[in-house]
Chain A
Amino acid sequence: MTSLLNPTRGVATGGSPRGGARAWPYLAPVVALLLVWVYGPALFTGVLSFLEWNLTGTPGGFVGFDNYARLFREPEFAQAAVQTLLYAAALLPFSTVIPMFLAIMLWQRPGRASTVYRSLLFLPVMVAPVAVAVAWRFLLNPLQGLANEAIGLVGLPPMNWLGNPASALIVIVLVTSAKVTAFNMLLYSAALSTLDRRTLEAARLERASAWETTRFVVIPQLHRTTVLLGLLSIVLAGQWVFTNVSVLTQGGPDGVTDNVYYRIYTLGFEFFETGMASAAAAIVLLFFGIASLGWVFVRRSRARG
Chain B
Amino acid sequence: MSIPRSLSRITTVVAVVAVGAVLAMTGCAASTEAGSTENVSITFSSYNYGTAGAAGEGTQALLDRFAELHPEITVVPEAVPASDVLTKTKTAVAAGIAPDVVQLGYSKLAEAMETLPIQSIEDIAGDEWDDHVEGINQALVETGTSDDTVKALPYTVSIPTVFYNADLFRAAGLDPETPPDSIEEISEAAAAITATGAYGAYFGIVDTAKSDYVTQSVINSAGGAIVDADGEVTLDSPEAIAGLQAVQDLTTEGIQPAVSVDDAVAAFSSGTLGMLVMTTAVMGSIETAAEGNFELRTGAFPSFGDGEARPTHSGASLVILSDDEAKQKASWELVKFLTGKEGYTMVTELIGYLPLRADLATDPEYLEGYFEENTLLLPPLKQLETLAPYLSFPGPKANQATVLLQDNAVSPIVLRDADVKDTLTEVADRIRELVG
Contacts and interface: CB of A to CB of B under 8 A. Distances in A.
Interface residues of A, dominant DSSP = loop
Interface stretch (A50-58, A109-117, A284-292): A50-58
Interface stretch (A7-15, A25-33, A237-245, A268-276): A268-276
A46 interface: no
A163 B415 contact: yes
A58 to B, nearest CB: 11
Most B-side CB within 10 Å, residue of A141, A162, A254, A272 = A272
A163 B399 contact: no
Given A163-B259, A270-B403, A143 B94 contact: no
B90 A142 contact: no
Nearest to A270: B87
Interface residues of A, number: 21
Interface string B262-274: 1110110010110
B415 A253 contact: yes
A161 to B, nearest CB: 10
A45 to B, nearest CB: 16
A165 interface: yes
A254 B263 contact: no
A59 to B, nearest CB: 12
A143 B412 contact: no
Contacts of B411: 252-254
A209 B257 CA distance: 56
B94 A56 contact: yes
A54 B398 CA distance: 13
Most B-side CB within 10 Å, residue of A141, A162, A163 = A163
A253 B93 contact: no
Nearest to B111: A272
A138 to B, nearest CB: 9
Contacts of A162: 260
B258 interface: yes
A101 B257 CA distance: 42
Contacts of A54: 90, 115, 396
Contacts of B9: none
Contact of A55 (B90, B260, B273, B415): B90
Contacts of B115: 54, 56-57, 272
A144 interface: yes
Interface string B111-141: 0000110000000000000000000000000
A56 B272 contact: no
A252 B407 contact: yes
Contacts, number: 63
A160 interface: yes
B299 to A, nearest CB: 22
B90 A272 contact: yes
Most A-side CB within 10 Å, residue of B199, B257, B263 = B263
A56 B257 contact: no
B90 A56 contact: yes
A27 B141 CA distance: 62
Nearest to B401: A271
Q: How large is the interface on B (under 10, 10 to 19, 20 to 34, 35 or more residues)?
A: 20 to 34
Nearest to A55: B94
B357 interface: no
A252 to B, nearest CB: 6
Most B-side CB within 10 Å, residue of A144, A254, A269, A271 = A271
B416 interface: yes
Interface string B389-409: 000000011011001000100
Contacts of B272: 143-144
A143 B263 contact: yes
Given A270-B403, A272-B90, A142 B263 contact: yes
A66 B22 CA distance: 53
Given A163-B415, A252-B411, A253-B415, A143 B400 contact: no
Given A144-B272, A252-B407, A269-B87, A165 B416 contact: yes
A258 to B, nearest CB: 10
Most B-side CB within 10 Å, residue of A54, A55, A56 = A56
A141 B87 contact: no
Contacts of A137: 262
B259 A160 contact: yes
A148 B307 CA distance: 41
A52 B165 CA distance: 51
A54 B93 CA distance: 12
A55 to B, nearest CB: 5
B36 interface: no
B91 interface: yes
A109 B64 CA distance: 61
Contacts of B257: 142-143
Interface in A152-175: 160, 162-163, 165
A232 to B, nearest CB: 30
A5 B199 CA distance: 59
Nearest to B117: A56
A209 to B, nearest CB: 51
Contacts of A272: 87, 90, 115
Contacts of A142: 257, 259, 263
B312 to A, nearest CB: 23
Interface of A: 54-57, 137, 141-144, 160, 162-163, 165, 252-254, 269-273
13 contacts: A56-B116, A57-B115, A137-B262, A141-B266, A143-B272, A144-B272, A160-B258, A160-B259, A163-B259, A163-B415, A254-B412, A270-B403, A272-B87
The 10 nearest A-B residue pairs measured at CB: A271-B400, A143-B267, A55-B94, A142-B259, A56-B90, A56-B93, A56-B115, A141-B263, A56-B94, A270-B87
